[in-house]
Amino acid sequence: MDVTYLLIVLCYIILMVYLVMKGRTRRKAGKLMHLLNVELDPGKYVEEVTAILNEGKIDKRTAVILNNSLATAYGQMGEYDKAIKLYKQLLDDPKFNYRGVVNGQLTQIYLAKKEVPAAKKRWDEFKSTLSPKHEKSLERYIKSMEGHFALLDEKYEESLQTHLDLLTSVQAKGEEVHLRYRLAETYKKLGDDHQQKEQLEFVAEHGNKLHIADLARQQLQEM
């Protein structure tokens, strides 16, 4: 199963954290962004964020945003139920202002669990909150998600072309790892063992401690 957390979403979340934090905690947030987006070590990120939350020295708004990013990290670790629980807690908070973002993130979790009806419900809620300006700025993210829906809807050629198009202008290592894992899934459905193996090898080598990297290594051993 693939968690499709593109860099554009991660940067959006972490940027919010960075802007609201002050002093030492704010500087620490910059280092945390590197852990999640470059080192691809969500487990270490969870440790660091949990430590900040346990210190109790941050305001409620910052704690809410940190819990959002914590849920993202849980998703990258494959701990989907923990991620869903945190996201739903955020949606239950009447003062939480980023409901559209969370519905997009929940879409990704449900796709990873292959729960397509639940994913489509959250996706519709996410898109209903987008202005034309936001839809344009998130064009790449939306295209990736539609490619994942195509894969699970058994539209394999459509999924393949979408992900290959995105790969030609990949923006960061983390994004490339996720795209290539989804390509491996698509090639498997198309019966192309050679291409499937090639994509899995990239994910296994470059995915560090992401859940999908562990899955890629396991699949390679079984091939």
> Which pLDDT tens digit goes with each residue over 46-100?
998 888 888 877 777 777 778 888 888 999 999 999 999 999 988 888 777 778 8
Q: Which of 44-53, 94-103, 170-179 has the lowest mean pLDDT?
A: 94-103
- Over residues 117-152, the pLDDT tens digits come to 999 999 999 888 888 877 777 888 889 889 999 999
Residue 1 lies in a domain: no
Residue 110 lies in a domain: yes
Residue 15 lies in a domain: yes
Q: 217, 214, 208: which is closest to 174 by C-alpha?
A: 208
Tell me the C-alpha distance between 185 and 179, whole Å.
Answer: 10
Residue 207 lies in a domain: yes
Residue 115 lies in a domain: yes
- Report the b/e string of 68-101 with b at 16+ CB within 10 A: bbbbbbbbbbbbbebbbebbeebeeeeebebebb
Q: List Cβ neighbours of 128 (8 Å cut-off, separation of 6 or more).
A: none
Residue 26 lies in a domain: yes
- This prediction's pTM: 0.83
* Whether the predicted pLDDT of 20 surpasses 70: no
Output the six-digit token pair for 35.
């852990």
Band (pLDDT 50/70/90 cuts) for residue 187 is very high
Residue 2 lies in a domain: no
Q: Which domain holds residue 153?
A: 7-222
Helix (H) or strand (E) holding 61: helix 60-76
Query: At residue 47, what is the residue type?
Result: E
Output the six-digit token pair for 60.
């409620």
CB distance 96 to 90 below 8 Å:
yes
Tell me the C-alpha distance between 201 and 181, whole Å.
Answer: 9
Number of domains comprising the chain: 1
CATH number (domain holding residue 93): 1.25.40.10
- DSSP-derived 3-state class of residue 39: coil
Tell me the C-alpha distance between 165 and 169, whole Å.
Answer: 7
Q: 17, 23, 22: which is closest to 35 by C-alpha?
A: 17
